[in-house]
Amino acid sequence: MAPGLAPNPVVTLATMSELVSYELDDGIATVTLTNGKVNAISPDVIAELNVCLDRSEADEAIVILTGQPGILSGGYDLKVMTSGPDNAIALVAAGSTLARRMLAHPFPIIVACPGHAVAKGAFLLLSADYRIGAEGPYRIGLNEVEIGMTMHHVGIELARDRLRKSFLNRSVINAEMFDPQQALAAGFLDAVVAPEDLMVTARSVAEDMKRLNMTAHAKTKVKMRAGLLETLDEAIEADKQPLW
């Protein structure tokens, strides 16, 4: 296949579980979180997201990751996080490994954020190549310190790399939450649009990205993020100690 995606035929294929759905249409894979009203990130959700990334690689597809109206994700599944330190450490490690994988994914990942993105939900934004948010009374940010969790090493390093310096302390140490326009200024988002335009805009961005040479995109992404990826590998190991 040619390095770009334009030669692909139009193919529509959809699969859905209770947690995540995958729809392939003309070289663009839309992955939708559907795990309850807050889209909690559980071990099973992470496993299915990894399956979706595997599939998008096989399909040579640009990825659009989104959630349900009003919510991308409220963060890690608190039932798992409070069920014991070993379970919490394992969930955070799996989520951090997913973030690292997203940052090195060979095809572009676009997040269409339809509303709130809190804690791990916000880290999904920080792990993508392009982030579009829906305008509205939504909260985006890292609330770990507010709810009594010491920020993990991977979270600190992701924030340090992807957020603007003037917002770093406010986000990580002060657990300040932002509306979509403030999140745009902070570096969580690259664009903010009306809710009814969110998926149309994401699709338009994905279509435009088809002009990229995907081999060059993949190699350049890994080269540019090499330092961050190495740092995250070390941070994942460091986070295997008790989190708080």
Q: Taking the CB of residue 117, how many other CB atoms lie within 10 A of it? A: 33
Kindly report the CATH class assigned to 12-238: alpha beta
**What is the tens place of the pLDDT at every residue in 104-157?**
999 999 999 999 999 999 999 999 999 999 999 999 999 999 999 999 999 999
The ranges assigned to domains in the chain are 12-238
In the predicted model, what is the mean pLDDT of the chain? Answer: 93
**What is the tens place of the pLDDT at every residue in 144-198?**
999 999 999 999 999 999 999 999 999 999 999 999 999 999 999 999 999 999 9
Distance between CA atoms of residues 190 and 165, nearest Å: 16
pLDDT of residue 1: 42
pLDDT value at 2 more than 50 = no
Helices 165-172 and 153-162: crossing angle, nearest 10°?
150
229 membership: H or E segment, kind and range: helix 226-238
pLDDT value at 7 more than 60 = no
**What is the tens place of the pLDDT at every residue in 200-235?**
999 999 999 999 999 999 999 999 999 999 999 999
Q: Taking the CB of residue 169, how many other CB atoms lie within 10 A of it? A: 12
Sequence-separated (6 or more) residues with CB below 8 Å from residue 108: 62, 63, 129, 130, 206, 209, 212, 217
Among 104, 125, 211, 128, which residue's Cα sits nearest to residue 171? 125
* Amino acid (1-letter code) at residue 213: N
